[in-house]
Structure 1
């Protein structure tokens, strides 16, 4: 049995359009649908978050909150696996971003079609080797109901620079996207490199590689009027958050 899950970030002019498409597809394919909003889970909409943090780091908040929203929704629906719509372009961009950031742990995970983490619901990316333009063309010629509106905050995202660079490469060499994905797949991590160990967040109970997960750090920063508290890697932030009361999460 398939269930459909959608996270509502409440970005004016973007998520409303996509919600309309999601609801129409739900009716057409008769699939159960669970909608979780950032306001419901965290008490903040993306528009409010941007008002607090500005346009530079807002995508960090959205990405972290959306990933956890998927986990929360999956638990509510009691699913066996979360299937996401990441395509070849998305994965190549992520490989580039992780290389530029020197993020070895994520570089290893981002190219896997199926990602299994102990204590978390497995995720799969069935469209890993499918180009974005192929998906759009298929949807267009099959007259499928889809939306292609870009988030109003996307132009300022770090991913946008990787996307621009990737498109420039693709113009010079059309196979660049697949080449980058294959490069990510074949990269080996030295045995003496210590990888982050997964544990449980002491605040919300979800899987995390640190005592307090990124979502809790970001949320507590917002609630305390310190929106930059969870940005970047800071031992001071971890120490400060460890002494704070539980963040405002819903009890499931």
Structure 2
């Protein structure tokens, strides 16, 4: 059900005002004006932070920003809520997509007068197009490994105690759905809004985990936040996108399905998988090549780098 013409903002009505609503949230049965939607969004972020004990006002937070609506909406909300939050952007070297998203992230950082740390992958490692060309690993999988590695490395070195990412409810539900289809116990045991710090790993949190993609888009639009509106070219054909489309169809018919699926998992099922994880956990070591924390002798990034360098070496030898 959409917003009916003439519907009034519920919060305004309680204050004796008759302001027209501009947003209807079917899963909450809530019609709101622009001002009260922004207020609702920020309160929901704050409530999620407190519910999962993500962090406190005196902690230094590093927000992983991509130039997209979710991460910029999160950064904006945290600043307005009074948190000490800076940004962290990884230039993946994906042509115009990376250039555009980087400029938008820089523009937003200037607007809120906050620090944006930028890491260029071509200087640290190899750009994603090269990795995609030289390895058999899907680009999105390699990108995820690399992002987590550099976020953790720089957050620790720069003195931040928390890494916040813009994963929204749609992201979390799509991942949960895929992992449930495969009954991937390892991933299911780690799908929680907070990953606690341990032996070199910085705490990672997802304050938007109960906010939908549409809600973060609306929040960005209402706050005049300019963001990149198209997907990364390497994400085309990803199973998570197909899952999102399927789940959106279900949500359209039965509002609140996604939130209930995710919330009930966290409340009833995750505790069981948490016990499984505790029994299966391997000791945390340091990568013997780079010294970063790793559950194996050589971390995923160093293995990936070795694979790319071997392919480049073979290519050079063949071309001689």
Q: TM-score, normalised by structure 2?
A: 0.64
Q: Which residue of 2 aligns with 1:172?
A: 253
CA distance in 2, matches of 1:60, 1:131: 23
Unaligned runs of 5+ in 1: 227-252
Cα deviation 1:79-112 (Å, max 9, x = unaligned): 0111111111111112123223433232232222
Higher helix proportion (structure 1 or 2): 2
- The 5 Å alignment of 1:15-94 reads 15-42=98-125, 44-53=126-135, 57-94=138-175
The counterpart of 1:196, out of the listed 253, 256, 281, is: 281
Aligned pair in 2 of structure 1 residues 219, 132: CA closer, same or farther (>3 Å)? Answer: same
CA contact (8 A) 2:90 2:120 kept: yes
Q: How does 1:84-233 map to 2 (within 5 A)?
A: 84-112=165-193, 114-119=194-199, 120-185=201-266, 186-187=268-269, 188-189=272-273, 194-200=279-285, 201-225=287-311
TM-score normalized by structure 1? 0.80
Using the TM superposition, give the Cα deviation of residue 15 of structure 1 relative to its aligned residue in structure 2, in angstroms. Answer: 1.4
Report how many aligned residue pairs link the two structures: 223
Q: Which moved more, 1:67-76 or 1:100-109?
A: 100-109
Provide the secondary structure at the position in 2 that maps to 1:153.
Answer: helix
Aligned pair in 2 of structure 1 residues 33, 192: CA closer, same or farther (>3 Å)? closer
Shift of 1:181: 1.0
Q: 5+ residue gaps in structure 2?
A: 1-83, 313-320
3-state DSSP of counterpart to 1:127: coil
The separation in 2 between residues aligned to 1:156 and 1:103, in whole angstroms, is 21
Q: Deviations over 1:162-190 (max 9, x none)?
A: 22332233233222221221243121238
Query: Judging changes above 3 Å, is the alpha-carbon distance between structure 1 residues 220 and 184 closer, same or farther for their aligned structure 2 residues?
Result: farther
SS at match of 1:35: strand
Q: How far did residue 210 of structure 1 move?
A: 2.3
Aligned in 2, Cα 1:224/1:146: closer, same or farther, shift over 3 Å?
same
Change (3 A) 1:81 1:99: same
- 1:17-46: CA deviation from partner (whole Å, max 9, x where unpaired): 11111110111111111111221221x111
Cα distance in 2 for partners of 1:99, 1:210 equals: 26
TM superposition shift of 1:209: 2.4
Q: Is the 8 A contact 1:68 1:215 kept in 2?
A: yes
| Structure having the higher Rg | 2
For the aligned residues, what is the CA RMSD?
2.2
